[in-house]
Amino acid sequence: MKEIKFQNVWKSYGKTQVVKGLNLTIKEGERLILLGPSGCGKSTTLRMIAGLEDITSGDLYMNGRRVNDIPSGKRDVAMVFQNYALYPHMNVIDNITYGLKVQKVPKEEIKARLGSALEMLQLKGYEERLPKDLSGGQRQRVALARAVVKKCDFFLLDEPLSNLDAQLRVSARKELVKIHDMYKQTIVYVTHDQIEAMTVGDRIALMNQGHLQMLDTPENVYHRPANIFTAKFIGSPPTNIVDMIYQNGKVVIGKQIFQLNPMWINQIKKHNTTELVFGIRPEHIEIFNSPQENTLKGTVKYIENQGSSYGVYIELEGNELIAMSENKKWGPGQEVYVRLMINHIHIFDKETTNSIGYPKELDQ
């Protein structure tokens, strides 16, 4: 099994704990995204898989064998680094094939692998160039090609697209998924960019401060966030988070009341506390000019043009809510009435910050 398994893995540098009790199984052949803010421990986690960092405690298994003490060269990994790490004095061909020559792969085999990698990554015509004579996107493709030709079971990528401009990133993401469809390696892909995580990942492992926050499909990470951190990290603008009190089927936010439906009332009743936190994504709030059934009153503070829509910042009982609107008919100072789409709300325990779960009626 080309799977990777972390069992209660800790990593410290001196007294600083960087990865804290990681339990994570990466399945054979999947594209697993390690996502999280800068400094949360993603690269360290990836480098432990690559065998470039010691494991402080716990066990790491790859292909079913414990690899804590197995050197990098014997783990069957290919890695693409954030800065590409190409050899500046070698041309494209030599950069791609150097590792294979060192491994004494037969010449014919090297030629075949090189040919298909050049084709796949659209590097034909650039074979003789040095890295300094390539664009950022081309260098990135050389780095990918160099990793691809190794034909390893495990393909590790550390923010491989972060140096590319937005357009190139979109095409590089597609190329990467294509490569994976061909080779079916187990991919571990580090990024801080949630869009990249959503588009490339079969599953996302979201980390914060060395802790795994959630491990699930992109759909579930978006629609069923396990905790407040996940709800806020995924989506742009982020999920609105509002303190609430639950009373007899109603949500009390400041002086206003919002009626819950029976499925949510049952869900809250299963939980032991009424001190809850309410989450709603900006795209799941409707704005009206006048009071409607089950709306809350707020005041527009600011409008942000986001191209395809407008972000409307609304003050509501001391909270700032962001709602998305397709038009610009709201202006600062205006009184508005908002409705929170009941099938898209999230409720968290205030103390643990964990989700109280979702009514089963919401599962299709």
Residues in contact with ligand ADP by CB under 6 A are 13, 16, 18, 36, 38-44
Smallest separation (angstroms) from ligand ADP to the CB of 84: 16
What torsion, rounded to 10 degrees, do the Cα atoms 197, 198, 200, 205 define? 50
Smallest separation (angstroms) from Mg ion to the CB of 341: 36
Residue located via tokens 């960019």: 193
Element containing residue 329 per DSSP (H, E): none
Smallest separation (angstroms) from Mg ion to the CB of 131: 22
Helix ranges restricted to H, 121-233: 136-148, 166-183, 194-200, 218-223, 228-233
* 3-state percent breakdown (helix, strand, coil) of the chain, nearest 5: 30, 35, 35
39 binds, among Mg ion, ligand ADP, none (CB under 5 to 8 A by kind): ligand ADP
Residue type, 109: E
Smallest separation (angstroms) from ligand ADP to the CB of 159: 8
Sheet with 65-66, side-by-side order of all strands: 16-26, 4-13, 57-62, 65-66
Sheet with 250-253, side-by-side order of all strands: 256-259, 250-253, 240-247, 275-280, 345-349
Smallest separation (angstroms) from ligand ADP to the CB of 176: 19
Q: Which is nearer to ligand ADP, 80 or 96 (CB)?
A: 80
Smallest separation (angstroms) from ligand ADP to the CB of 44: 3
Determine the Cα–Cα distance for residues 347 and 241; give it in Å rounded to an integer: 9
Sign of CA dihedral 300, 304, 305, 310: negative
Q: Which is nearer to Mg ion, 46 or 92 (CB)?
A: 46
Token pair of 90 as six digits: 């070698």
Q: Which is nearer to ligand ADP, 15 or 270 (CB)?
A: 15
Q: Which is nearer to Mg ion, 43 or 186 (CB)?
A: 43
Residue located via tokens 């050389």: 142
167 binds, among ligand ADP, Mg ion, none (CB under 5 to 8 A by kind): none
Q: Which is nearer to ligand ADP, 153 or 159 (CB)?
A: 159
191 binds, among Mg ion, ligand ADP, none (CB under 5 to 8 A by kind): none
Q: Which is nearer to ligand ADP, 22 or 148 (CB)?
A: 22
Residues that bind Mg ion (CB under 5 A): 43
Q: Which is nearer to ligand ADP, 118 or 207 (CB)?
A: 207
**CB burial class (10 A; 0-12, 13-18, 19+) of residue 170?**
middle
Smallest separation (angstroms) from Mg ion to the CB of 13: 14
201 binds, among ligand ADP, Mg ion, none (CB under 5 to 8 A by kind): none
Smallest separation (angstroms) from ligand ADP to the CB of 17: 9
Q: Which is nearer to Mg ion, 153 or 159 (CB)?
A: 159
136 binds, among ligand ADP, Mg ion, none (CB under 5 to 8 A by kind): none
272 binds, among ligand ADP, Mg ion, none (CB under 5 to 8 A by kind): none
41 binds, among ligand ADP, Mg ion, none (CB under 5 to 8 A by kind): ligand ADP
40 binds, among Mg ion, ligand ADP, none (CB under 5 to 8 A by kind): ligand ADP
Angle at 73 between CA 68 and CA 76, to 5 degrees: 85
13 binds, among ligand ADP, Mg ion, none (CB under 5 to 8 A by kind): ligand ADP
Element containing residue 315 per DSSP (H, E): strand 310-316
Residue nearest to Mg ion (CB): 43
DSSP 244-311: EEEETTEEEETTEEEEPPHHHHHHHHTSS-SEEEEEE-GGGEEEESS--TT-EEEEEEEEEE-SSSEE
Going from the C-alpha of 131 to that of each of 79, 90, 142, 328, the distances in angstroms are 18, 8, 9, 47
Q: Which is nearer to ligand ADP, 47 or 113 (CB)?
A: 47
Smallest separation (angstroms) from ligand ADP to the CB of 13: 3
